A and B are shown apart, each in its own frame.
Chain A
Amino acid sequence: MHTEAEDIQVTPITPHSNLLYSKLVLPPHITWNGLHYTGSETPRIYRQSLTTIAQQVDIVTLNNLIAVVAPTLTLARKAAQQLKVEWTYQAPEEQLPEQNHRFSLFKQGQFNTELHDKSQRISRTYQWSDAAKDITQSYFAQAFFNGTTLSLELPFGHTAILAFELSALLNLPTTAIQIQCTQPALTEQEIWISRNLASAVALIALTQKATIMLELTQEELYRHQQQLTCTIDVHVDEQYQPLSWQATLQCDMPSIPPYAALLKGQVSHYESASPLLNGQSVRPPYHIPHIDIGYNAATTALIPDNLLLIHSFAQESLMDELAALADKDPIVYRLDLTDNEQTKQFIMTVGEQANWSTLTQPATKNLPVMTGRGFAYSQIIDQENTHKKHVSAWVADVEYDANLGHLQVKRIIVGQDTFDTTINKSALSSPANQQITTNKTRSTIQQVLNKSNSFDQWGSTLANTAYDQTEINIIGQHTPSLQTSIENNQACVMPAAAAISNAIFNATGVRLQSVPLDEAELQKKVGYKTSTASSNRRWKYGLIGGIAAIGGLTAAIWPFKPAITPIAPVPANFYSAETIERGRLVAIAGDCMVCHTAEHGQTNVGGRKLETPFGDVYSTNITPSVKTGIGSWSFEAFDRAMRQGIHQDGHQLYPAFPYTAFAKVTSNDMQALYAYLMSQPAVEYTPPKTKLSFPFSVRPLLSVWNSLFHENQVFTPNPDKSVLWNRGAYLVEGLGHCAACHSPRNSFGAEKTGSSFLSGAMVDGWEAPALNHLSKSPTPWTENDLFTYLKTGFSPNHGVATGPMAPVITEMSQLPEQDIKAIAHYLSSLNTTSETPSTVTTSVTPIPDITANTLLGKNIFQGSCAACHQAGNGPTLYGVKPLFDVNTNIHSDTPDNLIKVILEGIQQPAQKDLGYMPSFANSLNDAQITALAQYLRSSFAPDKQPWTNITPTVQRIRHSLH
């Protein structure tokens, strides 16, 4: 279960007792022109949009900075999401290129293009942008102001820099600011995050008497999109040796101050920030006669922090390309152009230590798994001492699996040195410094790579473990400089992007020219197949033709399937932790334990009764018990059961087990699921036997059923739709098997498809509402509403998850947030009407016809329901307050769900914090429940036909209660 306590454990910060949680409410546009804020402004805050939680939430407003403060994190998140704010935004006029000047950063030789008439000109443009890598990743910071001293706790950051910045922002002396950072910031991104956390939490803490815990997500931290470009024009001779080199750097927005300072409008101390750049640092360290490096901008006042990074990426990518054109080894090519003996020696040492041998050209590689190596070098001239030079060289080994579309950085060799005699180098090779460089390398790889989200990709945790597997070797006993400059110095990670990009080229023949290096772009350029099986099948049918297809069909109907040889149990350590973790998420998305765990029973041992029109089906034991579970099932047997509904011993399984949906699962996910289930504890338990009435008890007949209603085909993504949509479709149609409950079934118990897909059905006496007509609810279900409902089990605009949906939500809330977003996105696309913004309607109860019965119903409502369900004023009670005027069940064609909830109550809510509802089965008789249902229908859904036959429904449902 995803609880607040777990969220906080994300960071090592310990919460204080008198603690309030805070979230920012950021404007849609955050921009700045280098002098002042130019984004959305003059917020109009609609406090009443907070409705029931208004009284527990404090709103902090400092100019354009808006924050909500609440006693729990859940409440703060809810308030930030719910609070309606109107902004005014005037898009800035397009800045004309003439207004920009080209400032020279470095110049050497007579730069004159006419000199190179006979030479060949090569022009390339490179891009670098900072973007959220995983929009759901959260960061927490804590602050307390006691009237004189401000104390802050941050997960990472540089205390001195932050204290200086906060002192200017808050008008407090640096001595009155105490900052604790758990560790130093390792990358530019972490520096940006720490500055944002610190400024925002400090400003909020100053307005409050309590300790403030602020949460910022990556999505919130990258509202501004800063993009840097570097265009390089080179002229080369016949040997592809550069004669002239002209580079122009450009940035679409100057480095932006932390949001809180910007939005509060206190940015004067940022204007004076001077460029911290030594022109010598952008000079290519190679023998090139004519060099001109410039920066295009309206003002040099703010040179972005990433300038050196993109410059190094552009320079080293182009050098690699020139080497390839010259048909030379990239290291040899660089050495030929290097005059400086020290540098030469350094590059050769790194090459030797990395066992560098002359590279093979990418064209010779045509395997599904392609491997490649790349090299890059860069140097920074010290700010204060121009005789001091920090140098770094990277060798990267990458592997690209064209079948899976997966790019992996297998190994990184980082060489680094400082050419300066004044430093005692041996003192710097301490393990702590080595560790910092290793961590920094790992974070940097993560920063420059953009792992794609294919439809069968699972969450950020897995993406991160993929990076963690990279082997990192730091060579050279020497770390660049003193401790402080290791933290601040970019030198050791500057070659990262180029080295990896060059290795990708060596592996695949594709050059990526923008950072983050995008896996999806690589997939497009190299060619990418999700499943080789499906394409093979098509080929087979095409080749052999119709007769073979008919033969295949008879084979499929042939009712007696062979048993698959049992295997010895899979050893516990057979699968990697990564695979098992992926399998865990697959199992959650597939809701395995919802059906395979009996009420109050042990997880996955089976025994839950599923009522079907054909009789009761009991779920089976899927723990790896050899005798009673699936312990002796080979993967082949497991895969066949999941896709074709055939038991390991060959007997047919009933389609109450949704193999019809699971057939869509990709083989990677299936493998991972098998790994996960096999790694769980084995439990000996034999669940009750399924007994259906004749003829359904004859299992072999199911092979005919399968040939009619089951298509054993892996999910194929729709190339016209987004990755998010395809991910949602994969989860809904495949693993999530939503249609098993939400699609009506025909008289053979098969799910109807086409326009009936997800059009609603009855399950276990509950109505599973139509998902393709969600827009017909009293208030249309928006994508946002769906997300909130699926994540928390409650949508204030629609109601609370009950019945069989509650455990589904409990499971689903453990999925990565992005997956729930994908499901909401896909489901909302099934609804034809366009999305209307979700508004909370204030309850206007129309006066129904007063009959004796509705008067009775009204009295029951007032006595039994109103304390928790009355709209408008009333006590604030623990748990959510579902209102009837927007409740889906009151607006349904049948009263079943409403009556079921009244009789059964909600004993196991989808999430604990939703609160409970008592059962009224022993307090209200059939006539009273009938009157109550009539009253609710006529009062809260007056536009709908009154329900008929309520009393028989009450009797039927009451009878079915155990």
Chain B
Amino acid sequence: MKTPPTYPVIVNGQQHHINAPKDAPLLNVLRNDLCLNGPKYGCGLGECGACTVLIDGIAARSCVIKADVLDNHTVTTLDGLGTADKLDPVQQAFIQEQAAQCGYCMNGMIMTIKALLLRNPNPSEQDIRAELDFNLCRCGTHIEIINAALLAVKLSQSTEI
């Protein structure tokens, strides 16, 4: 059987070579080809937000986006946000507030807040609620998540130079 040719992509600042079809869902490529399991498969229809990644710093639902965006965009997943030694302030805040029950929605919550902070470093609680309006959590951890997001705003500001 003929294997399709590989092509280079850049994810989390690192170059990888993949041979996935260009019309494969981005989420499948990230999880299956690149073993980046931060983004989760939820609804598969862009409704729940569990699969959120950043494309050029903007939140994107990777289950409904095709792999060909990798051609000319930079993709960041939860895996590339921070390291175990140096967590991203948003990750730090979610740990500190213990804002997870089952944790399946956590990737989407963190990535969506990260995208919000990238374009608006000082959002109000109202902004945060609007931003998370379409990120679904089934365990009822909403209060903790909002608290974590508010803490993330503070932590991000204090870590900025």
Interface residues of chain A, those whose CB is within 8 Å of chain B, are 3-5, 55-56, 71-72, 863-864, 866-868, 870, 873-879, 907-908, 912, 915-918, 920, 923
Among B56, B57, B65, B134, which residue has its beta carbon within 8 angstroms of that of A916? B65
A-B contacts, 7 of them at CB < 8 A, read A5-B72, A867-B49, A874-B131, A875-B131, A876-B59, A877-B60, A878-B61
Q: Given the known A-B contacts A56-B119, A71-B56, A868-B46, are A877 and B61 also in contact in the complex, defined by CB atoms under 8 Å? A: yes
3 smallest beta-carbon distances between A and B, as pairs? A878-B60, A867-B134, A873-B130
List residues of chain A with CB within 8 A of the CB of B72.
3-5, 912
Among A876, A908, A917, which residue has its beta carbon within 8 angstroms of that of B64? A917
Task: Name the residue in B45, B68, B115 with the highest tally of chain A Cβ atoms < 10 Å from its Cβ.
Answer: B45
**Bound state CA distance, A71 and B49, in angstroms?**
23
Q: Given the known A-B contacts A867-B47, A868-B46, A912-B68, are A876 and B115 also in contact in the complex, defined by CB atoms under 8 Å? A: yes
**Bound state CA distance, A867 and B131, in angstroms?**
10
Q: Given the known A-B contacts A867-B46, A867-B47, A912-B69, are A876 and B23 also in contact in the complex, defined by CB atoms under 8 Å? A: no
CB distance from A916 to the nearest CB of B (A): 5
List residues of chain B with CB within 8 A of the CB of A868.
46
**Bound state CA distance, A876 and B58, in angstroms?**
7
Which A-chain residue is minimally distant from B112 (CB atoms)? A875
Which A-chain residue is minimally distant from B120 (CB atoms)? A55
B133 touches A864 (CB 8 A): no
B45 touches A920 (CB 8 A): yes
List residues of chain A with CB within 8 A of the CB of B44.
918
List residues of chain B with CB within 8 A of the CB of A873.
130, 133
**Bound state CA distance, A4 and B71, in angstroms?**
12
Which A-chain residue is minimally distant from B119 (CB atoms)? A55
A874 touches B64 (CB 8 A): no
CB distance from B111 to the nearest CB of A (A): 11
Known: A864-B47, A876-B119. 4 other contacts (CB 8 A): A867-B134, A870-B133, A877-B60, A878-B65
Contact with A along B42-54 (1 / 0, CB 8 A): 0011110100000
B64 touches A918 (CB 8 A): yes
Which A-chain residue is minimally distant from B66 (CB atoms)? A916
List residues of chain A with CB within 8 A of the CB of B116.
875-876
List residues of chain A with CB within 8 A of the CB of B63.
918
**Bound state CA distance, A56 and B120, in angstroms?**
8
**Bound state CA distance, A55 and B131, in angstroms?**
12
B59 touches A878 (CB 8 A): yes
CB distance from A908 to the nearest CB of B (A): 8
B59 touches A875 (CB 8 A): yes
List residues of chain B with CB within 8 A of the CB of A5.
72
B60 touches A907 (CB 8 A): no
CB distance from B87 to the nearest CB of A (A): 22
A918 touches B134 (CB 8 A): no
B130 touches A877 (CB 8 A): no
List residues of chain A with CB within 8 A of the CB of B59.
875-878
Q: Given the known A-B contacts A71-B56, A875-B133, A875-B134, are A863 and B47 also in contact in the complex, defined by CB atoms under 8 Å? A: yes
List residues of chain A with CB within 8 A of the CB of B68.
912
List residues of chain B with CB within 8 A of the CB of A866.
134
Which B-chain residue is minimally distant from A53 (CB atoms)? B119
List residues of chain B with CB within 8 A of the CB of A923.
45
List residues of chain B with CB within 8 A of the CB of A879.
60, 65
CB distance from B65 to the nearest CB of A (A): 6
**Bound state CA distance, A636 and B87, in angstroms?**
70
List residues of chain B with CB within 8 A of the CB of A917.
64
List residues of chain A with CB within 8 A of the CB of B146.
none
**Bound state CA distance, A907 and B66, in angstroms?**
8
CB distance from A883 to the nearest CB of B (A): 15
CB distance from B88 to the nearest CB of A (A): 18
List residues of chain B with CB within 8 A of the CB of A878.
55-56, 58-61, 65
B11 interfacial contact with A, CB 8 Å: no
Total CB contacts across the A-B interface at under 8 A: 77
B132 interfacial contact with A, CB 8 Å: yes
List residues of chain A with CB within 8 A of the CB of B23.
907-908
**Bound state CA distance, A5 and B56, in angstroms?**
14
Which A-chain residue is minimally distant from B60 (CB atoms)? A878
A916 touches B64 (CB 8 A): yes
Task: Name the residue in A868, A874, A915 with the highest tally of chain B Cβ atoms < 10 Å from its Cβ.
Answer: A915
CB distance from B44 to the nearest CB of A (A): 7
List residues of chain A with CB within 8 A of the CB of B131.
874-876
List residues of chain B with CB within 8 A of the CB of A870.
133
Q: Given the known A-B contacts A875-B112, A877-B59, A878-B59, are A864 and B65 also in contact in the complex, defined by CB atoms under 8 Å? A: no
Which B-chain residue is minimally distant from A868 (CB atoms)? B46
B58 touches A877 (CB 8 A): yes
B130 touches A875 (CB 8 A): yes
List residues of chain A with CB within 8 A of the CB of B66.
907, 916
List residues of chain A with CB within 8 A of the CB of B47.
863-864, 867
B45 touches A864 (CB 8 A): yes
Task: Name the residue in A3, A870, A877 with the highest tally of chain B Cβ atoms < 10 Å from its Cβ.
Answer: A877
List residues of chain A with CB within 8 A of the CB of B134.
866-867, 874-875
List residues of chain A with CB within 8 A of the CB of B133.
867, 870, 873-875
Which A-chain residue is minimally distant from B45 (CB atoms)? A918
Which A-chain residue is minimally distant from B69 (CB atoms)? A912
Which A-chain residue is minimally distant from B127 (CB atoms)? A873
B130 touches A874 (CB 8 A): yes
Kindly identify, within residues 113 to 161 of chain B, every residue whose CB is under 8 Å from any CB belonging to chain A.
Answer: 115-116, 119-120, 130-135
CB distance from A14 to the nearest CB of B (A): 16
Among B46, B56, B119, which residue has its beta carbon within 8 angstroms of that of A918? B46
Task: Name the residue in B49, B57, B59, B134 with the highest tally of chain A Cβ atoms < 10 Å from its Cβ.
Answer: B134
**Bound state CA distance, A71 and B73, in angstroms?**
12
A72 touches B120 (CB 8 A): no
Which B-chain residue is minimally distant from A3 (CB atoms)? B72
List residues of chain B with CB within 8 A of the CB of A912.
68-69, 71-72
**Bound state CA distance, A863 and B115, in angstroms?**
22
**Bound state CA distance, A414 and B119, in angstroms?**
56
CB distance from A174 to the nearest CB of B (A): 30
CB distance from A211 to the nearest CB of B (A): 16
**Bound state CA distance, A876 and B71, in angstroms?**
22
Task: Name the residue in A874, A907, A916, A920 with the highest tally of chain B Cβ atoms < 10 Å from its Cβ.
Answer: A916
List residues of chain B with CB within 8 A of the CB of A55.
119-120
List residues of chain A with CB within 8 A of the CB of B57.
71
CB distance from B120 to the nearest CB of A (A): 6
List residues of chain A with CB within 8 A of the CB of B46.
867-868, 918
CB distance from B149 to the nearest CB of A (A): 13
Task: Name the residue in B55, B64, B115 with the highest tally of chain A Cβ atoms < 10 Å from its Cβ.
Answer: B64
List residues of chain B with CB within 8 A of the CB of A4.
72
List residues of chain A with CB within 8 A of the CB of B115.
875-876
**Bound state CA distance, A702 and B1, in angstroms?**
47
**Bound state CA distance, A877 and B59, in angstroms?**
5
**Bound state CA distance, A907 and B59, in angstroms?**
19
CB distance from B122 to the nearest CB of A (A): 12
B120 touches A875 (CB 8 A): no
Which A-chain residue is minimally distant from B135 (CB atoms)? A875
CB distance from A13 to the nearest CB of B (A): 18
CB distance from A620 to the nearest CB of B (A): 26
List residues of chain A with CB within 8 A of the CB of B58.
56, 876-878
**Bound state CA distance, A153 and B58, in angstroms?**
28
A915 touches B65 (CB 8 A): yes
List residues of chain B with CB within 8 A of the CB of A877.
58-61
List residues of chain B with CB within 8 A of the CB of A71.
56-57
List residues of chain A with CB within 8 A of the CB of B49.
867, 875
List residues of chain B with CB within 8 A of the CB of A864.
45, 47
CB distance from B54 to the nearest CB of A (A): 9
CB distance from A20 to the nearest CB of B (A): 12
**Bound state CA distance, A870 and B47, in angstroms?**
12
**Bound state CA distance, A3 and B71, in angstroms?**
11
CB distance from A600 to the nearest CB of B (A): 9
**Bound state CA distance, A920 and B45, in angstroms?**
8
**Bound state CA distance, A71 and B58, in angstroms?**
10
**Bound state CA distance, A883 and B18, in angstroms?**
36
**Bound state CA distance, A920 and B64, in angstroms?**
11
**Bound state CA distance, A870 and B68, in angstroms?**
26
Task: Name the residue in A876, A907, A920 with the highest tally of chain B Cβ atoms < 10 Å from its Cβ.
Answer: A876
